[in-house]
Amino acid sequence: MPSVDRALVFERQVEGPGTHVLLVGAGAYIYLVDGEEENLDAAEGMEQLDAPPKSARALADWFLDHFDNPDRPLASLALVISAEKAVRYSHEKATVKPHNLPRGSVPEVRDAARAWESRASSNRGNQVIFYFCGHGLFSGNSVLICRDFGKTMQTRFDGAVNFDGFLSAMSTMQPDNQLFLIDACRTPAAIENYLIGRSSMGNSLLDPVPLQTRGGSTAKQSVHFATSSLASSYGRDDGVSLYTDALLRALGGGGAQNDLGWWVGTNGLQTALSAYTTRIARKYDVEQEPDRTRSGQFKVHKPACVEVPIYITCDPADVWAESFRIEARLGAAVSKAHAHDPASGACEELEFPLQLASYELAACFDPASPFAGGTSTVMAVPPEAPCRISVSRR
Strands (E), 156-238: 160-162, 177-183, 220-225
**235: three-class secondary structure by DSSP:** coil
Distance CA 365, CA 79 (A): 51
pTM score > 0.85 for this model? yes
Average pLDDT across the chain, whole number: 93
Rg (CA), the chain: 23
| 219 — pLDDT class (breaks 50, 70, 90) | very high
Q: Please answer whether residues 170 and 221 qualify as being in contact, where contact means their C-beta atoms are separated by less than 8 angstroms.
A: yes
Q: How much is the average pLDDT of 62-67? A: 98
Quote the pLDDT of residue 128: 98
Name 202's bridge partners: none
Angle at 149 between CA 144 and CA 151, to 5 degrees: 165
**Are β-strands 263-265 and 291-295 bridged in parallel, bridged antiparallel, or unpaired?**
unpaired
Residues in the chain: 394
Residue 284 is given by DSSP the state T
Burial class (CB in 10 A: 0-12, 13-18, 19+), 45: exposed
Looking at residue 192, its pLDDT comes to: 52
Q: Give the full edge-to-edge strand order of the sheet including 142-145.
A: 136-138, 142-145, 160-162
Answer whether residue 343 shows pLDDT above 50: yes
Q: Amino acid identity, residue 206?
A: L
If one compares 21 and 196, the residue with the highest pLDDT of the two is 21
Q: What is the pLDDT of residue 180?
A: 98
Torsion on CA atoms 316, 322, 327, 332, rounded to nearest 10: -90
Domains in the chain with CATH codes: 8-301 (3.40.50.1460), 307-393 (2.60.40.1120)
User: In the beta sheet, which residues pair with residue 162?
Assistant: 143
User: CA-CA distances (angstroms) from residue 18 to 128, 311, 330, 334?
Assistant: 8, 37, 39, 41
SS3 state at 384: coil
Query: Which residues does 44 contact at the CB level (< 8 Å), separation at least 6?
Result: 189, 190, 191
Whole-Å CA distances, 334 to 105, 257, 329, 350, 366: 54, 26, 4, 18, 18
CA distance 65 to 58: 10
Mean pLDDT lowest among 15-19, 199-203, 267-271, 378-382? 199-203
In the chain, % of residues over pLDDT 70: 95
* Run of H or E residues at 334: strand 333-340
CA atoms within 13 A on the CB side of 223: 14
Q: Taking residues 15-22, report their average pLDDT.
A: 97
Residue 303: DSSP 8-state: -
Average pLDDT over residues 34-58: 93
The answer to whether 363 touches 316, Cβ cutoff 8 Å, is no
Q: Rounded to the nearest 5°, which phi and psi values hold at 317?
A: -70, -25
End-to-end CA distance of the chain: 81
Which pLDDT band, with edges at 50, 70 and 90, does 1 fall under? very low
* Sequence-distant contacts of 378-381: CB under 8 A, at least 24 apart: 378/310, 380/308, 380/310, 380/354, 380/355, 380/356, 381/258, 381/308, 381/356
pLDDT at 202: 87
Query: Is residue 198 scored above 90 in pLDDT?
Result: no
Predicted confidence band at 123 (pLDDT cuts at 50, 70, 90)?
very high
Answer whether residue 52 shows pLDDT above 90. yes
